[in-house]
Amino acid sequence: MDKSQLNDPFEKARLEKGIGHMNDQGDPVQMLLRLKDVRKAAHQWKNFQSGGEDIGRIVVPSEEKIRDIRQIPFEVDPPEHGEYRALVEAWFKRPLEDEYQEKLHKQIQSLIDRVLQMDSVEVVSELALPLQSRALTLLLNIPYEEAETWIGWGTHVFRSEDTALDGDKANILYKYIDAQIDKAIADPGEDLYSVLLDADFQGRKLTKEEVKGVMILTFAGGRDTVINVVTNTIAYFAEHPESLNRLKKEPEVIGKAVEELVRYFSPLTHMGRVVTADTHVCEHAAKANSRISLCWASANRDASVFEQPNEVVLDRKMNPHVAFGFSHHKCLGATHARQILKTLITVLADKSPEISILDAKENIEDLDQFKRKVGFNSLHVQFKYTT
Amino acid sequence: MVKITFITQENETITVEGNSGSIMELAVNNTIKGIDGDCGGVCSCATCHVHVAPEYMEVVGPPSEIENDMLELDDNVTEYSRLSCQIPLKETLDGIVLKVAN
């Protein structure tokens, strides 16, 4: 009964020191572990910046060596950050529209129907990846068939099985996006590429490089994260059929359950910032031009804020989690991600299959001082109708 | 039915009615601009920030510690700030005026 469990490896360090240390490719990171510290640092963009010259450095592990395109608005600080964000905010709220939700429901329902017919399902590659890829066609407003190309790339955009960062894999994505931007220039449509190419920014149009920066963020930010949430959700309901039954009987709890599962899974462990001037974080010195990280996964288990932090409390009423980040740079794709999880739970609750875990290989992140399970490299399950 | 008036950032005044749930839910159901309620009301997103008209502050009451921590780092915070997801609709709020903070 513990395959779906995600332990909290940060507890001791969070209580004793408030920070952890990670040596990332010779560029150390001080990890902030307490919720209040994480939120404050996320808010203080002048002291802890996301922009700056070293593109890719705020990501941990650093992508400095494999990327020279700035992700937008993610690697830009206010006030420009807000101007870029204003261009895309409404677009990324489209998952709230009825038509979008109906299409997403149809996609997820057909995938679940399919896995219900199979003897055994490898959830990461046969459910989570196709689900994430197909849903992305809605977010970009492009034809459904395009998902097949992305499914073919495998589960990670930047990572291979044997290496945390893979420049060749990243290049496939960059070249693909270049080609799609050229296509949209030649034949504009109603997709995200065309909308961005037509957007006005500071009295001019966005450059191709800026459009590419937004698109890379959209592809990369919502891939591993959504795949982990979907896979962890299946594992959780396999071991907690009573929870699925409850959500079937009390669908009004699904909204809270989405927030709680996202808190518990925290699909993005942490995100970095670069310190702009000598300062302190949680009473520890942080030198100018060093890196800190905002550890969402640790903050979300902070017992000074969350009661029973290591339990999934489906109807948790006060849940000030930071799984989608916090403040200026909070996740742009959160509306889409929430809608995916809400729909998945709704469809699963409706079908109420019995889910048995046949085999599970955990995906453990190596954070130096900490080893954190973030999901699964593979998860074989069997879905069975109970009625 | 309880009557609630919202004043948006564009100074549009909208009065709506409800009898259950939270002020945030009422606002979202009536598409009040500036009240998004992204997290569905669990105090995690601060996208439902309002300024309560001073004369109603006593009826509404102060924010909890968790809510206060959220408000502390939000834009346009005043002594009348509340997250509307944390204010349940009740009879005593009838006629209240709330200014959308962002």
Return all residues near A184 (Cβ < 8 A) that are at least 6 apart: A191, A193, A194, A197
A67/A343 Cα distance (integer angstroms): 34
CB contacts under 8 A, A 75-104 vs B, are 93
Which ranges in chain A belong to alpha helices (H)? 11-16, 35-43, 80-88, 98-117, 123, 129-140, 147-152, 167-186, 192-198, 208-221, 224-239, 241-249, 254-265, 296-299, 334-351
- DSSP SS3 for A167: helix
Q: What is the pLDDT of residue A369?
A: 96
User: What's the confidence (pLDDT) of residue A1?
Assistant: 62
Q: What architecture does CATH give domain B2-100?
A: Roll (3.10)
Q: Could A320 and B41 be called an inter-chain contact, meaning their C-beta atoms sit closer than 8 Å?
A: no
pLDDT > 90? residue B37: yes
pLDDT at res. A162:
58
In chain A (387 residues long), the average pLDDT of successive 10-residue segments reads 92 98 95 97 97 95 91 97 96 96 98 95 97 98 96 74 67 93 98 97 97 96 96 98 97 97 98 97 94 98 97 97 96 98 97 95 96 97 85
> Average pLDDT, whole number, for chain B?
95
What distance in Å separates residue B92's CA from the closest CA in chain A? 23
E strands, A15-74, where?
A: 19-22, 29-32, 48-49
Query: Which pLDDT value is given to residue A254?
Result: 97
State the smallest CA–CA distance between residue A81 and chain B in angstroms.
16
Q: Is A305 on the interface with B (CB under 8 A)?
A: yes
The answer to whether A334 faces chain B, any CB pair under 8 Å, is: yes
What confidence score (pLDDT) does residue A87 get? 97
Task: Indicate if the pLDDT at residue B34 is higher than 70.
Answer: yes
Residues of B in contact with A317 (CB under 8 A): 42
Domain ranges of chain B: 2-100
ipTM over 0.95: no
Q: So what's the pLDDT on residue A124?
A: 97
Task: Compute the average pLDDT of residues B48-70.
Answer: 95
A14 interfacial to chain B (CB closer than 8 Å): no
Beta carbons of A275 and A47 less than 8 angstroms apart: yes
Give the nearest partner residue to B73 out of A93, A318, A327, using CB atoms.
Answer: A327
- Cβ-Cβ contacts under 8 Å, A330 against chain B: 45
DSSP conformation letters of B13-81:
EEEEEESSSBHHHHHHHTT-TT---TTSSSSSS-TTEEEE-GGGHHHH-PPPHHHHHHHHTSTT--TTE
The domains located in chain A, with CATH, are 11-384 (1.10.630.10)
User: Scanning every residue of chain A, which has its alpha carbon at the shortest distance from the alpha carbon of B47?
Assistant: A327
Inter-residue contact A92 to A332 (CB < 8 Å): yes
Which residues of B touch chain A, with CB atoms under 8 Å apart? 36, 38-45, 64, 66, 69-70, 73
